Amino acid sequence: MTSRERVNASFNHQQPDQMPVDFGAASTTGVHVLAVQNMRKIFGLEDRPIKIVEPYQMLGEVDEELRNLIGIDVIGVNPKNNMFGFANDNYSKEFKTFWGQTVLVPEDFNTRIDEKGDLLIYPEGDMNAPASGKMPQKSYFFDTIIRQEPVDDSNLNVEDNLEEFGAITEDALKYIVNEVNKAYETDKAILVNYGGTALGDIALVPGPFLKHPKGIRDISEWYMSTLIRRDYIAEIFDRQSNIAIENLKKLFDAVGNKISAIYMCGTDFGTQDSTFCAPDDFDSLWKPYYKRMNDWIHQNTEWKAFKHSCGAIEPLIQNLIEAGFDILNPVQINARNMIPENLKKQYGHQVTFWGGGVDTQVVLASGTPQEVMKQVLYLCEVFNKNGGFIYNTIHNTQANVPIENLEAMIKAIHKFNGK
């Protein structure tokens, strides 16, 4: 099978010739730039500055050379502008990180050190606007700076929380189309992050890409608003999902079924031990709008709809399936009741698990190489049976993973796939 055939077979719950693999196709299946450097060392590749493809989490480029050596089956296509609102298209700068690595960053990656020694970054690269992200000295990625104005319930305006949603521009669409066409020339499956389809994704709500965000932008205020301002949130979702469908139509008209899957939403519904909301609450507030968008996809395209949610979401998995999601990521097996065998048995015929290949919190980060290899082989055996699985770690591969554990994980993948 080609990579594209392998991934599509797995989506259709058919046993592929070997387990499909992803590293780097999405913002929640990516690899921290330091881990990318270590992966390159494992294969003896040239030590050179690596591109930051997603500055918010400091994710590094998993390039064609590394994709081929690892055996990656998916290429990700992202919008032209990143989480801080500037383009990832002119890597004209070298940047020295707090941990001592020199990386390549886009032209508008403009930063300043504050009085505490932390790194500030700016929306659209505009240093005259208030900073929208901060990287503490001992951190490996940015945190969002909340810049919410006082909330006046008597003057709430849905338009304020729709500022970032609108008809896709010709330039933005052209960029994605060009990237899809380039990726399609390979034999890889394509995962597109089109944007505009995420309902209340807490990474996006604060608007780190906006110079002066209005509306409800504080994370705590947003969560409270799903209870105390439910009509307001529902109106945002209603308007947003209608806009999104019009944009999806434009994408389909331009690229057709070259896309294998589309990243719909990264809203988290789980903590380590529980869900953020009850299934009935999910069904009343989120499900109608997810279903509206996913129904359009299923009625008009061959794309699969990708949903990310960390945490103990087992009580919501059937609801997510009913909302039209074909793919669940990151499959956090170390959260409560997220038991691999149970997940595969109960839901494996209805949904594709994209992730869940190794516990990143404990085993990959601080286990022995032997423990890493053992867990990876076990989880591949559980999840890959009868398809419905794309290998990835549980969320992004982090900076603090020992190089020996990265090597053990890759060796386990190769061993499972008979390489």
Distance separating alpha carbons of residues 401 and 23, to the nearest angstrom: 15
Count the Cβ atoms, other than its own, within 10 Å of residue 171. Answer: 9
Q: Let me know if residue 131 belongs to a domain.
A: no
CA distances from residue 381 to 323, 371, 391, 419 in whole angstroms, order as listed: 28, 16, 11, 16
Q: The dihedral of CA 41, 45, 50, 56: what is its sign?
A: negative
Question: For residue 216, what pLDDT is reported?
Answer: 97
Q: How many domains does the chain fold into?
A: 1
Mean pLDDT, residues 159-177: 97
Sheet with 352-354, edge to edge strand ranges: 74-77, 189-192, 261-265, 304-308, 327-329, 352-354, 389-390
Q: Let me know if residue 126 belongs to a domain.
A: no
Question: For residue 148, what pLDDT is reported?
Answer: 92
Q: Model confidence over 50-88: pLDDT tens digits?
A: 999 999 999 999 999 999 999 999 999 999 999 999 999
Question: For residue 39, what pLDDT is reported?
Answer: 98
- Using a pLDDT cut of 70, give the percent of the chain over it: 100
The structure tokens listed for 170 are 């010709």
Question: For residue 391, what pLDDT is reported?
Answer: 98
Distance separating alpha carbons of residues 41 and 54, to the nearest angstrom: 21
Mean pLDDT across the chain: 97
Grouping H, G, I as helix, E, B as strand and the rest as coil, residue 329 is: strand
Mean pLDDT, residues 34-60: 98
Question: For residue 28, what pLDDT is reported?
Answer: 98
Judged against a pLDDT cut of 90, whether residue 324 lies above it is answered with: yes
Mean pLDDT, residues 353-376: 98
Q: Let me know if residue 311 belongs to a domain.
A: yes
Q: Let me know if residue 301 belongs to a domain.
A: yes
Letter string b/e over residues 235-259, b meaning 16 or more CB atoms within 10 A of that residue's CB: ebbebbbebbbebbebbbeebeebb
Q: How many residues does the chain have?
A: 419
Q: Model confidence over 207-223: pLDDT tens digits?
A: 999 999 999 999 999 99
* Side chain identity at residue 307, one-letter code: K
Question: For residue 89, what pLDDT is reported?
Answer: 87
Question: For residue 322, what pLDDT is reported?
Answer: 98
Q: Let me know if residue 264 belongs to a domain.
A: yes
Q: Let me know if residue 133 belongs to a domain.
A: no
Mean pLDDT, residues 269-289: 97
pTM: 0.97
Question: For residue 167, what pLDDT is reported?
Answer: 97
Q: Model confidence over 90-104: pLDDT tens digits?
A: 998 999 999 999 999
311 torsion bin: left (phi>0), alpha (psi -120 to 50), beta (else)? left
Count the Cβ atoms, other than its own, within 10 Å of residue 227. Answer: 11
Mean pLDDT, residues 238-267: 98
Residue 145 DSSP one-character state: P
Judged against a pLDDT cut of 90, whether residue 240 lies above it is answered with: yes
* CATH number, domain with residue 45: 3.20.20.210
Q: Are 22 and 390 in contact (CB under 8 A)?
A: yes
DSSP H helix total and E strand total for the chain: 13, 15
E-assigned strand segments in 6-154: 50-54, 59-60, 74-77, 93-96, 102-105, 111-113, 119-121, 133-135, 143-144
Domain that residue 180 falls in: 3-90+147-416
Distance separating alpha carbons of residues 320 and 345, to the nearest angstrom: 17
* Per-residue confidence band for 339, with pLDDT thresholds at 50, 70 and 90: very high
Q: Let me know if residue 344 belongs to a domain.
A: yes
Q: Let me know if residue 123 belongs to a domain.
A: no
CA distances from residue 162 to 108, 237, 243, 291, 336 in whole angstroms, order as listed: 25, 9, 10, 20, 35
